[in-house]
Amino acid sequence: MYSLDDTIVAISTALGEGGIGIVRMTGPEATEILLRVFVSGPGSQRPKAGYTAPSFQPRTLHYGHIVEPNTAERVDEVLAVHMPAPRTYTRQDVVEIHGHGGFVALQRIQALCLGQGARQAEPGEFTARAFLNGRLDLAQAEAVLDVVQARTEVALQAAVGQLGGLLSDRVRSVRAALVDILAYLEATIDFVEDEIPERDIGPDLRDASTSLQRLVAEADRGIIYRQGVRTAIVGRPNVGKSSLLNRLLRTGRAIVTDIPGTTRDTLEETLNLQGIPVVLVDTAGITSETGDPIEYLGVERSRATLAQADLVLLVIDASQPLTDADHDIAALVGSKPAIVVPNKIDLLENSWWSNTAVGAAAGCPRRESQLQCTVLDASCVPISARTGEGLEHLEAAIIETVLSGQISASEAPLVTSPRHRQALNQALDHVDGARAGYGAGQLTDMLAIDVTAAVNALGEITGQTASEDLLETIFGSFCIGK
């Protein structure tokens, strides 16, 4: 799928204006191509044929210019470094050219490298070479993208741990134990006439199952830290959805007026709650009928957002009686994880809500409880988006709902990928199948089939048994230049 014999080049920094931009090359001709287009020092003389720079020490930044080899035209003032194999990211020669962050300048530098024999890198091809050359295993390679895309400190901590091999070490340990069991089973199959010492593999299968169960148990939480929780703020018009968004974000992100229907489209922002990326989506007020075509489109987007949400904050107006629209929206929520949020409690005179302890103990008043019953398993947290009263209770309720009372949010999980969770589940199913078969006196051949399947499933995590299609899917999700 990926050729390792050619030299590839790409712009490795985000496109756009910036102080610094980096063009990266790797491959057998990377250093030679650099020397054709780079002149060290303040001069801009054209590089001569066979030009070499004895003082061009590896792993050291050198000041100079990128020049067009045929015309000696200066393209950019840069710092350049070359790193000889094998002590590099790809275990091939690697070159980095640090120029100014303008799009045109970086494109010119890349074009010069392409003109000297490099080719454009495919998405993720630098990291793919690191994997194919044994610099990283597949789980570590995937963690590179997770580090880049981490949206909270805990997500970053988890990604860095995976990049450092924490998950790989656990998976390899279990896989090695299963390979040892498989070797014994195959020996008893292949060498029936020889005296193979009997071995009780029950405890080893049990230990492998226990280790896999621990990894699977934290997978859901880990995926939350990696992907975030898409949270739809829904309700009828003018109940304070946009005000709630602004209050949670601690900034005036959404326009708020007393006019119903101010929000016509969805508005999305990410909130960091104890390390969990909570993707808040403010929606247009949901109404059953409207003659305004723009408002109609907004309502349809709100319904679509609700359907795709992982969590729903159903906002109602605590200062008014419940309406049929409130119940209709609650019915749309259905069985999704949800929190009922009675807003505008500051408008209630002499309300017990002014006493936080009483409010937390008493729960919602009767009319909110009626709505709460239409949303399965939904908690109820009264707030005032205007004053901020009850906001801490709402944030705690979001965390509780998302984590379902599991491990503390301050601990970085090992498993953060749906792909890894699926592979671990497959391995666990086969190990448990082997345990059950062993306990029932199943034939050795059948036990070996289950153990082999478990070994292969774990190998898909670290890349030992990964198919080309899987590798293409994983590295294809990377940006070009990584």
DSSP string covering 184-240: HHHHHHHTTTS-PPP---HHHHHHHHHHHHHHHHTHHHHHHHHH-EEEEEE-STTSS
* Domain co-membership, 123 together with 148: no
Q: Cβ of 180: how many Cβ atoms within 10 Å?
A: 13
> Using one digit for the tens of pLDDT, what is the confidence trace for 408-420?
444 577 898 999 9
> Using one digit for the tens of pLDDT, what is the confidence trace for 157-169?
889 999 999 999 9
Q: Cβ of 428: how many Cβ atoms within 10 Å?
A: 22
Among the ranges 84-98, 140-154, 322-336, which has the highest mean pLDDT value? 84-98
* Domain co-membership, 455 together with 311: no
CA–CA dist 222, 263 (Å, integer): 33
> Does a structural domain hold residue 272?
yes
Amino acid residing at 316: I
> What is the rounded average pLDDT of the residues 65-80?
93
Does 426 or 199 have the greater pLDDT score? 426
* Domain co-membership, 105 together with 156: no
> Does a structural domain hold residue 247?
yes
Instruction: Return the structure tokens found at 208.
Output: 């492998």
The alpha-carbon radius of gyration of the chain (Å, integer) is 30
> Does a structural domain hold residue 161?
yes
* Domain co-membership, 364 together with 431: no
Indicate whether 443 pLDDT > 70: yes
* Domain co-membership, 388 together with 251: yes
pTM, two decimal places? 0.78
> Does a structural domain hold residue 437?
yes
pLDDT of residue 152: 85
Question: 478 and 145 in contact (C-beta within 8 Å)?
Answer: yes
| Per-residue confidence band for 192, with pLDDT thresholds at 50, 70 and 90 | low
Indicate whether 195 pLDDT > 90: no
Please name which of 232, 406, 201, 252 lies closest in space to residue 307, comparing C-alpha atoms. 232
What are residue 185's phi and psi, to 5 degrees?
-65, -45
Final residue belonging to a domain, choices 377, 403, 429: 403
Whether residue 418 is preceded by a cis peptide bond, meaning omega within 30 degrees of 0, is no
| Per-residue confidence band for 294, with pLDDT thresholds at 50, 70 and 90 | low
Total count of domains within the chain: 3
pLDDT of residue 86: 95
Average pLDDT over the chain reads: 84
> Does a structural domain hold residue 475?
no
Indicate whether 17 pLDDT > 90: no
Please list, in sequence order, all residues whose beta carbon lies within 8 angstroms of the beta carbon of residue 442, skipping any fewer than 6 positions away: none
CATH number at residue 344: 3.40.50.300
Indicate whether 361 pLDDT > 60: no
* Domain co-membership, 206 together with 97: no
27: containing domain:
8-136
**Burial annotation 8-36 (CB, 10 A radius, 16+ → b, else e):** bbbbbbeeeeeeebbbbbbbebbbbbbbb
Final residue belonging to a domain, choices 77, 106, 136: 136
| Per-residue confidence band for 116, with pLDDT thresholds at 50, 70 and 90 | very high
Indicate whether 70 pLDDT > 80: yes
> Does a structural domain hold residue 408?
no
Does 92 or 153 have the greater pLDDT score? 92
Final residue belonging to a domain, choices 112, 136, 160: 136
CA atoms within 13 A on the CB side of 99: 26
* Domain co-membership, 205 together with 338: no
* Domain co-membership, 59 together with 117: yes
Please name which of 264, 393, 239 lies closest in space to residue 314, comparing C-alpha atoms. 239
> Does a structural domain hold residue 1?
no
* Domain co-membership, 157 together with 114: no
Indicate whether 88 pLDDT > 90: yes
Indicate whether 335 pLDDT > 50: yes
* Domain co-membership, 272 together with 339: yes
**Which range is least confidently modeled, 5-9, 173-177, 343-347?**
343-347
Strand order in the sheet with 229-234: 267-273, 276-282, 229-234, 311-317, 338-343, 379-380
* Domain co-membership, 279 together with 355: yes
> What is the rounded average pLDDT of the residues 431-448?
94
> Does a structural domain hold residue 321?
yes
CA–CA dist 145, 405 (Å, integer): 29
CATH number at residue 166: 1.20.120.430
Does 6 or 358 have the greater pLDDT score? 6
CA–CA dist 52, 277 (Å, integer): 51
* Domain co-membership, 237 together with 353: yes
CATH number at residue 115: 3.30.1360.120
DSSP letter at 345?
G
